[in-house]
């Protein structure tokens, strides 16, 4: 027996949903499924179906929200305690996750552009890390290879991140219409650029911190937890071990010389790389606190400190948030929540 096309559950559900949305259900024939609608109408129908599917699940949803909040709170406490008690292991595990987690998604979702950039960055950074951990350390390695490379990564990631942010603001204020650019295209480009800038900024700073520790310990002017094995001679930079040619009062042609409150002098690029790129807030020799505000006379230079704090927040978001969400989904699955 032939059934009326409108008697199928799919058609009846669509009929009621369209009626609730104020659309014309009579114009929709069985062959004219959701592909005949506009993109906005199709999205509204799917959204309404989601509400119909989860109708009456308010108690279950409240329980899921409580599980999410409790898991986030417990995870935050555990991560903070881990970071305070075992800082090095926390940074190492976080770096490995930052390096591997995006790789899994890029391979699974076929994001070949990101995968190619990730591969190039990994190869070059691995070589720089290899050179920075050699003993004896080449004289040109700290200054001309390690800090130059990571400073380049830092500046490029900063510029790309700002460009992505401007593209997002450009789209939100509707300026894309003036250039006949679709909002979806400009917004996607802005989000991608912002993610690239923040992600590689985080990776560069983490690897720079590892290289800084190894190089400074090898040179002997720095020790992670004890007394340095050597004391720097006069006019010797305690970061790279090279001679400081410009006096503190003089203005250098390429770079100036910085003297910290503890009295130790450094090359400008070395101490900036140590503090800003390498995430160090202490003197490389005596571990005295460094006041970054005194090092940065120009207002626009202080944005680098804020950018570094943003990168620290993104590290938690990329490295630990997927694991926390996975734990929440596992708890919901065990309890039968939907």
Asked if the structure places residue 336 within a domain, the reply is: no
Asked if the structure places residue 199 within a domain, the reply is: yes
Number of domains making up the chain: 2
- Tens of pLDDT, residues 42-100: 777 776 776 666 665 667 778 888 998 999 889 889 988 998 888 778 888 888 888 88
Q: Which two tokens stand for residue 166?
A: 């401007």
Q: Which two tokens stand for residue 112?
A: 């070949």
Asked if the structure places residue 42 within a domain, the reply is: no
Asked if the structure places residue 315 within a domain, the reply is: no
Three-state SS at 249:
coil
Contact by Cβ (8 Å): 236, 242 = yes
Q: Provide φ and ψ at 86, rounded to 5°.
A: -135, 75
Q: Provide φ and ψ at 258, rounded to 5°.
A: -105, 140
What is the chain's mean pLDDT, rounded?
75
- Tens of pLDDT, residues 193-247: 988 988 898 888 888 878 877 776 676 555 555 445 555 566 777 677 677 777 7
Same domain membership, residue 259 and residue 168: no
Same domain membership, residue 230 and residue 201: no
Taking residue 213's Cβ as centre, other Cβ atoms within 10 Å add up to: 18
Same domain membership, residue 235 and residue 202: no
Choose among 209, 186, 188, 190: nearest CA to 198: 190
Same domain membership, residue 235 and residue 207: no
Choose among 93, 95, 112, 118: nearest CA to 202: 95
Task: Point out the domain boundary residue: 172, 189, 219.
Answer: 219
The range of the structural domain enclosing residue 111 comes to 106-219
What percent of the chain has pLDDT above 70? 64
Cis peptide before 12 (omega within 30 of 0): no
Note the pLDDT of residue 215: 75
DSSP 227: -
| E strand map for the chain | 257-259, 265-267
What percent of the chain has pLDDT above 90? 12
Asked if the structure places residue 251 within a domain, the reply is: yes
Cis peptide before 162 (omega within 30 of 0): no
Instruction: List Cβ neighbours of 291 (8 Å cut-off, separation of 6 or more).
Output: 261
> What pairs with residue 267 in β-bridges?
257
User: CA torsion 149→153→159→160, rounded to 10°?
Assistant: 140
Note the pLDDT of residue 149: 87
Q: Provide φ and ψ at 246, rounded to 5°.
A: -110, 135
Asked if the structure places residue 281 within a domain, the reply is: yes
Same domain membership, residue 250 and residue 182: no
The C-alpha atoms of residue 217 and residue 229 are separated, in whole angstroms, by 9
Asked if the structure places residue 27 within a domain, the reply is: no
Asked if the structure places residue 57 within a domain, the reply is: no
Instruction: List Cβ neighbours of 138 (8 Å cut-off, separation of 6 or more).
Output: 131
Same domain membership, residue 204 and residue 237: no
Query: Residue 189: which pLDDT band, with cuts at 50, 70 and 90?
Result: very high
CATH of the domain at 262: 3.30.40.10
Same domain membership, residue 278 and residue 193: no
Contact by Cβ (8 Å): 292, 275 = yes
């Amino acid at each position: 027996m032939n059934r009326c096309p409108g008697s199928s559950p799919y058609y009846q559900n669509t009929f009621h949903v369209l009626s609730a949305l104020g659309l014309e259900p009579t114009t929709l024939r069985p062959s004219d499924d959701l592909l005949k609608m506009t993109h906005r109408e199709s999205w509204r129908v799917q959204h309404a179906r989601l509400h119909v599917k989860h109708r009456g699940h308010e108690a279950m949803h409240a329980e899921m929200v409580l599980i999410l909040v409790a898991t986030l709170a417990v995870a935050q406490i555990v991560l903070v305690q881990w970071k305070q008690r075992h800082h090095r292991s926390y940074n190492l595990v976080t770096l490995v996750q930052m390096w591997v987690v995006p790789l899994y998604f890029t391979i699974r979702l076929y994001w070949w552009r990101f995968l190619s950039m990730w591969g190039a960055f990994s190869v070059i950074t691995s070589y720089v890390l290899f050179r920075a951990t050699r003993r004896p350390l080449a004289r040109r390695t700290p200054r001309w290879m390690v800090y130059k490379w990571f400073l380049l990564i830092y500046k490029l990631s900063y510029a790309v991140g700002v460009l992505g942010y401007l593209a997002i603001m450009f789209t939100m204020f509707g300026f894309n219409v003036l250039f006949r650019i679709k909002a979806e295209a400009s917004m996607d480009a802005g989000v991608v650029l912002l993610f690239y800038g923040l992600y590689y900024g985080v990776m560069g700073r983490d690897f720079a911190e590892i290289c800084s520790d190894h190089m400074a310990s090898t040179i002997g002017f720095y020790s992670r937890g004890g007394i340095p094995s050597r004391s720097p001679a006069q006019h010797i930079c305690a970061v790279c071990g090279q001679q400081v040619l410009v006096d503190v009062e003089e203005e250098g042609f390429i770079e100036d010389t910085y003297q910290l409150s503890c009295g130790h002098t450094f090359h400008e690029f070395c101490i900036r790389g140590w503090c800003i790129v390498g995430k160090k807030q202490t003197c490389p020799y005596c571990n005295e606190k460094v006041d970054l505000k005194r090092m940065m006379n120009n207002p626009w230079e202080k944005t680098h400190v804020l950018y570094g704090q943003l990168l620290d927040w993104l590290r938690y978001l990329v490295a630990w948030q997927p694991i926390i969400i996975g734990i929440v989904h596992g708890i919901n699955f065990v309890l039968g929540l939907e």
